[in-house]
A and B are shown apart, each in its own frame.
Chain A
Amino acid sequence: MIASVAVVGHQNNPLYLQSFTNANDALKLHHIVHCSLDVIDERVNNPKRSVSTLNESYLGLLYPTESYKVYGYLSNTKAKFLVVTTDLDVKDADIRSFFRRFHAAYVDAVSNPFHVPEKKIVSRTFAQRVSGIVKAFAAGTNG
């Protein structure tokens, strides 16, 4: 199941962090997201072998640890989306569609004229949409 999601702006400032486990582990979440940012930077700045990875938005599995995996996605406007999941086997297609919906919700939240760019996203609609997408993802992988 998905433990948490995060959106980070292009100056590596956190825009949205939400954890879906019941424990109070905000600090650990911040730490995981921070470490993943380094991996993203490394992937973007040093393209390995093929040039196509430089232009793709979906970055795939960033790094696995013993209890969770982190997936990354980079938009054209340098907004980074991160998903921390505790599932052991997750299909690539599922995660890609999750990021697509997550990105769409983010675009709608940022188009709000009252949203200040590069500040935290405070929209409740966005939070509800993200929770909905996470629940749909969990239902999709279980059922």
Chain B
Amino acid sequence: MGREVAESCFDGLIIEMVSAYGRRFYATKPDLASRRIEAIGFQVGHQLIERYTVERPRFSDHLEAIKFICKEFWSELFKKQIDNLKTNHRVGTFVLQDNKFRWFTRVLIDPSSEDNEASQGSSSEATSMLLHFPCGIIRGALSNVGISCAVSADASNLPSCESGILVFALKFSI
């Protein structure tokens, strides 16, 4: 019943959405832009998890839900699973690590650098804007199965994002 779309269209859409919110709509307020992008991701994750948990039995605890996100949900979205999952039960945080984040393989950071430090700063700002969308997706997906948490992401090894490692940190509010 579904029709398929080329993945490059999807990549282009995300990059354009982030740049539209960051540079045109809320150019002077990057916090607001990042919150709007995260909210879009929230709704997408909320609806996607509905679709991907159809035939599954219900999750018995948080760990099972996170494992579902790491395996099935991530492979539906990015065709691979999360490479590394660490937990800290005491504090209630989970750390998800993806060694080759699919959306970054197409992101080109502008290498024009009149001033080396400035270009480094703006390239990391650009990728951090891009990161709010997958954070929102994870947060939306978890909230629909009844788990509320805060998600933050960190991309190390910039600007060579192709081999960059992306780390999502989930903090639970229970």
A interface list, Cβ under 8 A from B: 10, 54-57, 74-79, 100, 103-104, 107-108, 110-111, 113, 117
Q: Is there a chain A Cβ closer than 8 Å to B56's Cβ?
A: yes
Give the interface segment out of B17-25, B44-52, B82-90.
B44-52
Contact string, B141-167, partner A, CB cutoff 8 A, digits 1/0? Answer: 000111000000000000000000000
Whether A77 pairs with B53 at a CB distance below 8 angstroms is yes
Known: A76-B54, A107-B50. 12 other contacts (CB 8 A): A10-B146, A55-B58, A55-B60, A75-B50, A76-B49, A77-B50, A77-B144, A78-B146, A79-B50, A110-B47, A113-B43, A117-B43
Q: Which B-chain residue is minimally distant from A77 (CB atoms)? A: B144
A77 proximity list for chain B (CB < 8 A) = 49-50, 53, 144-146
B interface list, Cβ under 8 A from A: 1, 43, 46-47, 49-51, 53-60, 144-146
Chain B binding site: helix, strand, loop or mixed by DSSP?
loop
B67 CB to closest chain A CB, in angstroms? 14
B144 CB to closest chain A CB, in angstroms? 5
Whether A76 pairs with B47 at a CB distance below 8 angstroms is no
A104 proximity list for chain B (CB < 8 A) = 54
Interchain residue pairs with CB less than 8 A apart (28): A10-B146, A54-B58, A54-B60, A55-B58, A55-B60, A57-B56, A57-B58, A74-B58, A75-B50, A75-B54, A76-B53, A76-B59, A77-B50, A77-B144, A79-B50, A100-B55, A103-B54, A104-B54, A107-B50, A107-B51, A107-B54, A108-B1, A110-B47, A110-B50, A111-B51, A113-B47, A117-B43, A117-B46
Q: Which of A57, A77, A110 has the most CB of B within 10 A?
A: A77
B46 proximity list for chain A (CB < 8 A) = 117
B51 proximity list for chain A (CB < 8 A) = 107, 111
Q: Which of B50, B56, B60 has the most CB of A within 10 A?
A: B50
Whether B57 pairs with A56 at a CB distance below 8 angstroms is yes
B43 proximity list for chain A (CB < 8 A) = 113, 117
A58 CB to closest chain B CB, in angstroms? 10
Partner of A75, one of B1, B47, B53, B60: B53
Q: Which A-chain residue is minimally distant from B144 (CB atoms)? A: A77
B53 proximity list for chain A (CB < 8 A) = 75-77
A70 CB to closest chain B CB, in angstroms? 20
Q: Which A-chain residue is minimally distant from B141 (CB atoms)? A: A77
Q: Which B-chain residue is minimally distant from A79 (CB atoms)? A: B50
